[in-house]
A and B are shown apart, each in its own frame.
Chain A
């Protein structure tokens, strides 16, 4: 039986992990490779690196981070942030990442998804969707620029279009729930999961192990759940979340 995946997400800026990761046990808590190893040992099923570098140099540094991570890690990892062209995808994937994720760049130019999918296969292309409930539209709309700018797509429609173009996976973040730690947006995630045939990673709102159970259990049935700060700030650990899921009868590795 295929297991549900738990995925820690690391924000990397100019080659360093940001958002104040608190691990006293690590020699260098800002080193993405060290942290990746730590999460691997904790039982993380996959990792996501989000490159939030603003500079060209920062992006080049990310390629080094990817290469070093690929040389040490024996689990898959995805890299997102700043990937705008097929060449950007090539640089990251050839450095050893398993998947790339695209967000705003795919909304601006949807063919990017097809180009990547045709070249590397759908399994390498993750489309990240930031969705926020819009009272005006009475549905979840896609947002860009960290949730500030509304796009013209409904979240479910954009997810379908992304899959049609060749996305192998959808990384769905609820902007309403993000950072709230009050649980995933179950209705949104269920709606998107039912709209597409590819795996859906739920993101935004994880506050405790119970929240992971809610979104991964049969009712909502997300394929994977992603979280950042609760793992980084040691509010819970990947191992604890998995133990809880196991007790509740959810198949985990």
Chain B
């Protein structure tokens, strides 16, 4: 199957491209809509700041394209910042509107849980707790940990859209969200060892059978 990795100039796309290739996908990394239209599923990666990313999407008119993708029920997976962009808004740097595919807003970890300090960014391997199984995920998930690296997370979400979360100092950090053909992963599946590979593989299989 052919996957379009949306290249809007934010972050390193090499690892995710390689991970998809290892799973036998044909991968195109592009910002070109005509090329993206020829793919079976789309992946929105991203590392960096929310306002920059939204600005880049607007400049390249990829924001309009992503709305079309959603309207047409085409599979889209947002990873890390790519997932955050799918929410309504973010307070990173200055309040900025997101794509609004998921309910909720992106806030910074404040580093203080009832007087107990904790480290920001949330960096490392954390346990993924499944709250429900999405249609694309088959079989029991045995490994537990995935690799997170982020300072902002989704809050005030619609619990019905939550698939899995991780506990970081008492905060329920949304790890996987899904609604229709749109999925988001806050962690990096391409850097999350066997479980990450499994989740990507399952998503791809689920998408292929849509």
Residues on A close to B: CB < 8 A? 1-5, 40, 45, 67, 70-71, 74-76, 93-96, 98, 120-124, 168-169, 197-199, 223-224, 253
Q: Is the Cβ of A76 less than 8 Å from the Cβ of B147?
A: yes
How far apart sit A46 and B203, CA to CA, in the bound complex (Å)?
25
Closest to B12 in A: A93
How far apart sit A198 and B127, CA to CA, in the bound complex (Å)?
20
B157 within 8 A of A: no
7 closest Cβ contacts across the A-B interface?
A253-B145, A96-B14, A253-B125, A123-B149, A71-B18, A3-B125, A2-B126
B207 within 8 A of A: no
B180 within 8 A of A: no
Closest to A71 in B: B18
How far apart sit A189 and B140, CA to CA, in the bound complex (Å)?
40
Q: Is the Cβ of B124 less than 8 Å from the Cβ of A74?
A: no
Inter-chain contacts of A2 with B (CB < 8 A):
122, 124-126, 148, 166, 168
A139 CB to nearest B CB, Å: 23
Q: Is the Cβ of B192 less than 8 Å from the Cβ of A74?
A: yes
B205 within 8 A of A: no
B193 within 8 A of A: yes
User: Number of contacts between A and B (CB, 8 Å)?
Assistant: 89
5 contacts between A and B (CB under 8 A): A3-B125, A3-B126, A123-B123, A197-B120, A199-B123
Q: Is the Cβ of B119 less than 8 Å from the Cβ of A199?
A: yes
Inter-chain contacts of A45 with B (CB < 8 A):
124-125
Q: Is the Cβ of B124 less than 8 Å from the Cβ of A168?
A: no
Residues on B close to A: CB < 8 A? 12, 14-15, 18-19, 47-49, 111, 117, 119-127, 144-145, 147-151, 166-168, 188, 190-194, 196-197
Inter-chain contacts of B111 with A (CB < 8 A):
197
Q: Is the Cβ of A1 less than 8 Å from the Cβ of B167?
A: yes
Q: Besides A2-B168, A199-B124, 17 other CB < 8 A contacts?
A: A1-B127, A3-B145, A4-B124, A45-B125, A67-B14, A70-B15, A74-B19, A74-B193, A74-B197, A75-B191, A94-B14, A98-B12, A121-B48, A121-B49, A122-B151, A199-B121, A253-B125
Inter-chain contacts of A5 with B (CB < 8 A):
124-125
Residue of A1, A96, A169 near B123 (CB, 8 A) is A169
If over half of B's interface residues share one DSSP class (helix, strand or loop), that class is named, otherwise mixed; here it is: mixed
Q: Is the Cβ of B125 less than 8 Å from the Cβ of A70?
A: no
Inter-chain contacts of B193 with A (CB < 8 A):
40, 74-75, 253
Closest to A4 in B: B124
Inter-chain contacts of B124 with A (CB < 8 A):
2-5, 45, 199, 223-224
Q: Is the Cβ of A168 less than 8 Å from the Cβ of B192?
A: no
How far apart sit A96 and B190, CA to CA, in the bound complex (Å)?
12
How far apart sit A67 and B125, CA to CA, in the bound complex (Å)?
23
Q: Is the Cβ of B194 less than 8 Å from the Cβ of A123?
A: no
User: Considering residues A70, A168, A198, which has the most beta carbons from chain B within 10 angstroms of its beta carbon?
Assistant: A70
Inter-chain contacts of A253 with B (CB < 8 A):
125, 144-145, 193
Inter-chain contacts of B196 with A (CB < 8 A):
74
B146 CB to nearest A CB, Å: 9
How far apart sit A2 and B171, CA to CA, in the bound complex (Å)?
11
Inter-chain contacts of A3 with B (CB < 8 A):
124-127, 145
Inter-chain contacts of A98 with B (CB < 8 A):
12, 15, 191
Q: Is the Cβ of A168 less than 8 Å from the Cβ of B14?
A: no
How far apart sit A155 and B103, CA to CA, in the bound complex (Å)?
44
Closest to A5 in B: B124
A121 CB to nearest B CB, Å: 6
Closest to B192 in A: A74
Q: Is the Cβ of A75 less than 8 Å from the Cβ of B147?
A: yes
